[in-house]
């Protein structure tokens, strides 16, 4: 379907970050990581060259899902877990729109887990931002599907008895064609990641570590704090060896299928011994291996884990329609009503 | 009801030629194992009969199991067809002819056959093993228990094997042709040509010539067997019905539903988006729509029922006609999302092809027990419009009506068909373009003065402002909206106002739908009120009683929320109001609450449609009390 405003020939005006801020007061708690994510998204938007009337933000329920109200684009704050379903219907029926799903660890991986995996498997050209704060914030502090095993919360006073789910593992297992991770506090990295998310053709999934300073303050502090970040996190770059550390002296090496942290220069280890990141690998095996690296045993990787190219569902659907129309001619009311065996009574 | 009348008897002089009897209505039921192809046999007979020019109505009846153990009662599948030389509205109360392919099929159906009715059996299937599986202690072919029928026990299987022997087809595959043998035989009995079915087989098996040849040979052999042996001493002529002039096709309710929805899209110029998760008995709508890729329709087989409705809402938000199809359990899963569409005031149609409930219930059997779910099955005060087609062909018209209401009032509409309508078929006079309703949809494009929840003063509909329109960027969602602006609002008085506005918007649809028409006198002793698929049985019953001079009228509701505006005044003009429903009294409950009328129920929940005689009996009983 074409845009209802097709025919307007005005050149797109140059947009700024302010053009993407709505008139609604932002109502997240002061100090919430969501503010930073909102600011980076608003910053990235103008650079994409997409008219803002063609951008739609769709969310479910939870703190993160208030996001669309603050974006001066089209926005739909739907129901719990279901944002990918609305996004799917909208994208299939209006492929020209730029559609962003904003979800959280509870919305996306608990109540809406089924929709999330199927949206990714279909490879619709939509962008999914999953704010992971490892807690239920809007309902005031119950554990979430990404909360650490044994975590004490309001609904788990003796500690949870549940193994957390790994969002990136879910995305990779769901055949998602673009899988990334970033952190709310690293604004530069976040902006760069969002830019790549926006430019990927296909479903792009990014997990954003987001601090809930009210119910789970400091959840990622142990490795994201400014002073320890470079020693406890590793930024993935395509084609480059996995090196980290303040002194750029540490790396990741594969020992069989087992990754190990090594020190460059020690025991004759050089860059050549290190694992080299390949986000375009045919199979997401390496991406999955990297998604399993967690602090404190390993540095926590951020960046683009996997980036593949595959046909998008909405394009296949359009192609089938085009082929059928070319072969059979466009359907008309007369043909529709008179199809099958007919007979005449006079 | 007397369903088979002998109009005239023509006795021909040559004794070797069978007698031709002219009759004006016949009910035939084909029954067999679910692997025996009974649905196919019935459909072929129905299509041929439609092309022949009779009026007809069908009732497929099959188990939920795809292949229950062969030969058991659980695996029996049936197809009933009523055809005639005059107008008919139901698949018939009682079969005049029963074709049973095995003992289990006989056992579970023979009680329905009319006294003296024709019973055709495959004698080859009456083995000790099959008799045991069906629970027969003695062989009914030998114990005299079938003496009340005109029995034709024919070795259908061995005759079929003989007929297809030269095709080289092996044992089991050859045996499977026996349904066509039986069909050929019945075609001869009712003077139907085999051509349509022969062409169908050729097309269907064009990539397997051997199977095609075998089936055609079996069909022809069945026909020839009846024609040349002296098994049948008479055959029957049912003349063409005097139908209104026009072009006709045979259509099932589900086909008519799909066709109606695409027609709606073509009429208003917006594409159709169909989100659905496969569910009996609605899946045929998905099959039909996903086939029509050269039409403005996109289908989406969702991962679950919730996704199906979510996607439809997303498509509606983008300016398509958002549609989803399901059955009762699926509607239950969609409840929250329907509420979202009520809150965001987007057009949406949910087609519920009802089946027996609760829970998984009776997936392949019909019921009308989702009316209250459609009306109230959501959290909060959450009104939606509800419409219901009355016949298989009426599904076409009500599908268009559902989208006319949804787009004009920016509201979800629940469309209540059922398994009986969905799978049943009837001849449909194809409407010319001028007979189709006009409806237009307009998007808001003007930027100046745009407010997402500013309503049309007449319909109370909010503007449809779709993404891609410059200057109309706005946010909607499931949180309560501030009147006019659509911003999030927790204000108590605003909430009160919005709840009432949403209610009033649906109520105003009553100004925009036709008044209900009375069949019969405007007042009298008994009024029968029906909705949905009971139309055929109610109308047949009421017309026959009116013919006998009884004081009974009927009305049939196709709009259930809101009700037609003249309904209340009609109810008051009759001494008794009878509401037949395939549930425990859901419409009756609504009518009693709304109009304080002492409506009486006639309720049946057996997974089967009403018989005409059941309605007649209930009305007669009431007439006796007035």
How high is the pLDDT of residue B171?
82
Nearest beta carbon to residue A89 from set B248, B322, B472: B322
How high is the pLDDT of residue B17?
67
How high is the pLDDT of residue B7?
42
The model's confidence at residue B231, banded by pLDDT at 50, 70 and 90, is: confident
The model's confidence at residue B16, banded by pLDDT at 50, 70 and 90, is: low
- Is B297 a residue whose pLDDT tops 60? yes
- Is A218 a residue whose pLDDT tops 70? yes
Instruction: Count CB-CB contacts under 10 A for residue B8.
Output: 10
Contact B124, B157 (CB under 8 A): yes
Task: State whether residue B29 is helix, strand or coil.
Answer: strand
Instruction: Count CB-CB contacts under 10 A for residue B485.
Output: 13
How high is the pLDDT of residue A8?
53
In the predicted model, what is the mean pLDDT of residues A275-289? Answer: 97
The candidate with the shortest Cα–Cα distance to B476, out of A56, A49, A9, is: A56
Are A321 and B430 within 8 A, CB to CB? no
pLDDT more than 70, % of chain B: 97
CA distances (Å), origin B75, targets A81, B37, B72: 40, 12, 5
Are B475 and A93 within 8 A, CB to CB? no
The model's confidence at residue B8, banded by pLDDT at 50, 70 and 90, is: very low
Are B318 and A338 within 8 A, CB to CB? no
Are A88 and B300 within 8 A, CB to CB? yes
A107 CB neighbours in chain B (<8 A) are: none
Beta strands B600-603; B574-581: pairing state? parallel
Residue A270, preceding bond cis, omega within 30 degrees?
Answer: no
The model's confidence at residue B13, banded by pLDDT at 50, 70 and 90, is: very low
Q: What is the mean pLDDT of chain B?
A: 95
- Full-model pTM: 0.94
Are A327 and B294 within 8 A, CB to CB? yes
- Is B348 a residue whose pLDDT tops 70? yes
Q: What's phi and psi for B392, nearest 5 deg?
A: -55, -45
How high is the pLDDT of residue A10?
62
A97 CB neighbours in chain B (<8 A) are: 318, 467-468
The model's confidence at residue B62, banded by pLDDT at 50, 70 and 90, is: confident
Distance from CA of A95 to the nearest CA of B (A): 10
Distance from CA of B494 to the nearest CA of A (A): 18
Sheet holding B412-418, edge to edge: B297-301, B272-276, B321-326, B348-354, B412-418, B385-387, B559-561
Are A336 and B443 within 8 A, CB to CB? no
A327 CB neighbours in chain B (<8 A) are: 294
User: Which ipTM was obtained for this model?
Assistant: 0.96
Are B263 and A336 within 8 A, CB to CB? yes
- Alpha-carbon distance of B487 to B163, in angstroms, equals 75
Q: What's phi and psi for B337, nearest 5 deg?
A: -70, -35
Residues 9-48 of B with CB under 8 A from A: 47
Distance from CA of B474 to the nearest CA of A (A): 5
Which carries the bigger pLDDT value, residue A5 or residue B439?
Answer: B439
How high is the pLDDT of residue A11?
63
How high is the pLDDT of residue A228?
97
- Is B4 a residue whose pLDDT tops 80? no
B294 CB neighbours in chain A (<8 A) are: 321, 324-325, 327-331
How high is the pLDDT of residue B19?
87
- Alpha-carbon distance of B567 to B531, in angstroms, equals 13
In the predicted model, what is the mean pLDDT of residues B550-568? Answer: 98
How high is the pLDDT of residue A314?
98
In the predicted model, what is the mean pLDDT of residues B350-374? Answer: 97
Distance from CA of B487 to the nearest CA of A (A): 9
Are B344 and A330 within 8 A, CB to CB? no
- Is B9 a residue whose pLDDT tops 70? no
Are A54 and B319 within 8 A, CB to CB? no
How high is the pLDDT of residue A12?
60
Q: What's phi and psi for B625, nearest 5 deg?
A: -95, -15
In the predicted model, what is the mean pLDDT of residues A59-88? Answer: 97
In the predicted model, what is the mean pLDDT of residues A218-229? Answer: 96
CA distances (Å), origin A36, targets A33, A58, A190, A303, B431: 6, 19, 9, 17, 60
> Left, alpha or beta for A268 (phi > 0: left; psi -120 to 50: alpha)?
left
Nearest beta carbon to residue B473 from set A73, A88, A330: A73
In the predicted model, what is the mean pLDDT of residues A321-326? Answer: 97
In the predicted model, what is the mean pLDDT of residues B513-518? Answer: 98
How high is the pLDDT of residue B438?
87
- Is B10 a residue whose pLDDT tops 70? no
Sheet holding A126-132, edge to edge: A233-236, A300-307, A178-183, A204-209, A126-132, A98-104, A55-59, A74-77, B475-477
How high is the pLDDT of residue B35?
86
Are A85 and B310 within 8 A, CB to CB? yes
Provide the b/e sequence for B517-545 (b: ≥16 CB within 10 Å): ebbbeeebbbbbbbbbbbbbbbbbbbbbb
Determine the residue of chain A that is closest to B311 in CA distance: A89
Burial of B14 (0-12, 13-18, 19+ CB in 10 A): exposed
């Amino acid at each position: 379907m074409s845009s209802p405003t097709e025919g307007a020939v005005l050149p797109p005006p140059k947009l700024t970050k302010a053009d993407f801020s709505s008139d609604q007061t932002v109502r997240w708690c002061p100090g919430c990581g969501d503010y930073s994510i909102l600011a980076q998204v608003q910053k990235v938007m103008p650079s994409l060259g997409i008219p803002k009337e063609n951008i739609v933000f769709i969310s479910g329920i939870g703190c993160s899902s208030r996001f669309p109200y603050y974006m001066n684009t089209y926005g739909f704050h739907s129901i719990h877990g279901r944002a990918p379903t609305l996004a799917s219907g909208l994208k299939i029926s209006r492929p020209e729109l730029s559609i962003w799903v904003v979800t959280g660890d509870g919305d996306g991986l608990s109540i809406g887990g089924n929709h999330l995996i199927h949206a990714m498997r279909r490879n619709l050209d939509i962008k999914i931002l999953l704010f992971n704060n490892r807690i239920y914030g809007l309902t005031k502090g119950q554990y979430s599907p990404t909360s650490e095993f044994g975590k004490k919360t309001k609904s788990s006073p003796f500690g949870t008895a549940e193994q957390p789910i790994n969002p990136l593992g879910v995305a990779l297992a769901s055949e998602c064609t673009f899988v990334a991770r970033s952190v709310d506090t690293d604004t530069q990295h976040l902006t760069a990641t969002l830019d790549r998310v926006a430019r990927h053709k296909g479903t792009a999934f990014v997990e954003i570590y987001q601090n809930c300073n009210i119910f789970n303050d400091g959840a990622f502090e142990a490795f994201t704090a400014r002073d320890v970040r470079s020693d406890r996190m590793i930024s993935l770059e395509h084609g480059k060896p996995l090196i980290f550390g303040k002194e750029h002296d540490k790396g990741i090496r594969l020992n069989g299928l087992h990754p190990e942290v090594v020190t460059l220069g020690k025991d004759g280890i050089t860059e050549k011994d290190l694992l080299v990141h390949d986000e375009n690998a045919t199979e997401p095996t390496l991406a999955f291996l990297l998604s399993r690296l967690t602090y404190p045993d390993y540095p926590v990787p951020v960046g683009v884990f996997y980036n593949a190219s595959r046909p998008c569902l909405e394009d296949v659907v359009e192609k089938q329609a085009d082929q059928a129309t070319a072969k059979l001619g466009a359907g008309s009311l007369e043909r529709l009503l008179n199809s099958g065996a007919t007979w005449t009574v006079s | 009801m007397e369903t088979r009348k002998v109009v005239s008897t023509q006795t021909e002089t040559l004794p070797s030629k069978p007698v031709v009897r002219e009759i004006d209505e016949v009910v035939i039921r084909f029954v067999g194992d679910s692997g025996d192809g009974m649905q196919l046999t019935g459909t072929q007979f129905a299509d041929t009969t439609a092309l022949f020019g009779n009026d007809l109505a069908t009732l497929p009846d099959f188990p939920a199991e795809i292949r229950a153990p062969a030969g058991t009662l659980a695996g029996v599948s049936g197809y009933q067809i009523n055809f005639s030389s005059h107008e008919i509205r139901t698949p018939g109360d009682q079969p005049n002819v029963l074709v049973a392919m095995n003992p289990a099929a006989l056992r579970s159906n023979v009680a329905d056959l009319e006294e003296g009715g024709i019973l055709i059996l495959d004698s080859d299937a009456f083995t000790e093993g099959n008799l045991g599986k069906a629970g027969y202690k003695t062989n009914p072919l030998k114990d005299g228990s079938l003496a009340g029928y005109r029995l034709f026990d024919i070795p259908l299987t061995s005759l079929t094997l003989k007929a297809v022997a030269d095709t080289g087809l092996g044992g089991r595959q050859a045996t499977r042709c026996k349904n066509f043998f039986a069909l050929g035989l019945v075609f001869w009995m009712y003077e139907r040509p085999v051509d349509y079915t022969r062409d169908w087989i050729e097309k269907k098996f064009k990539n397997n010539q051997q199977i095609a040849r075998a089936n055609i040979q079996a069909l022809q052999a069945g026909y020839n067997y009846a024609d040349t042996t002296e098994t049948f001493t008479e055959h029957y002529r049912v003349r063409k019905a005097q139908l209104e002039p026009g072009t006709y096709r045979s259509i099932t309710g589900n086909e008519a539903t799909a066709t109606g929805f695409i027609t709606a899209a073509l009429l208003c110029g917006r594409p159709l988006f169909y989100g659905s998760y496969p569910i009996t008995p609605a899946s045929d709508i998905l099959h039909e729509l996903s086939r029509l890729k050269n039409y403005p329709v996109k289908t989406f087989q969702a991962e679950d029922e919730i996704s199906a409705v979510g996607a439809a809402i997303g498509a509606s938000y983008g300016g398509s006609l958002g549609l989803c199809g399901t059955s009762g359990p699926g509607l239950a899963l969609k409840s929250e999302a329907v509420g979202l569409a009520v809150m965001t005031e987007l057009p949406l149609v949910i087609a519920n092809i009802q089946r027996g409930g609760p829970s998984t219930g009776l997936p392949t059997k019909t019921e009308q027990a989702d009316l209250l779910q459609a009306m109230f099955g959501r959290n909060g005060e959450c009104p939606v419009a509800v419409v219901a087609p009355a016949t298989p062909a009426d599904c076409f018209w009500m599908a268009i009506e559902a989208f006319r209401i949804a787009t004009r009032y920016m509201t979800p509409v629940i469309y209540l068909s059922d398994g009986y309508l969905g799978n049943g078929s009837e001849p449909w006079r194809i409407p010319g373009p001028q007979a189709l309703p006009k409806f237009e949809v307009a998007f808001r494009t003007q930027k100046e003065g745009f407010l997402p929840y500013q309503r049309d003063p007449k319909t109370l509909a909010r503007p449809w402002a779709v993404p891609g329109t410059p200057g109309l960027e706005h946010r909607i969602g499931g949180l309560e909206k501030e009147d006019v602006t659509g911003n999030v609002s927790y204000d108590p008085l605003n909430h009160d106002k919005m709840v009432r506005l949403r209610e009033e918007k649906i109520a105003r649809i009553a100004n925009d739908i036709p008044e209900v028409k009375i069949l019969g006198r405007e007042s009298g002793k008994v009024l029968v009120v029906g909705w949905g698929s009971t139309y055929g049985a109610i109308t047949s019953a009421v017309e026959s009683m009116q013919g006998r001079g009884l004081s009974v009228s009927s009305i049939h509701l196709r709009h259930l929320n809101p009700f037609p505006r003249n309904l209340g005044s009609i109810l008051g003009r009759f001494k008794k109001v009878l509401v037949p429903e395939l549930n425990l009294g859901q419409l009756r409950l609504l009518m009693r609450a709304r109009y304080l009328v002492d409506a009486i129920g006639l309720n049946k929940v057996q997974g089967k449609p009403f018989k005409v005689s059941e309605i007649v009996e209930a009305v007669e009983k009431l007439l006796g009390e007035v």
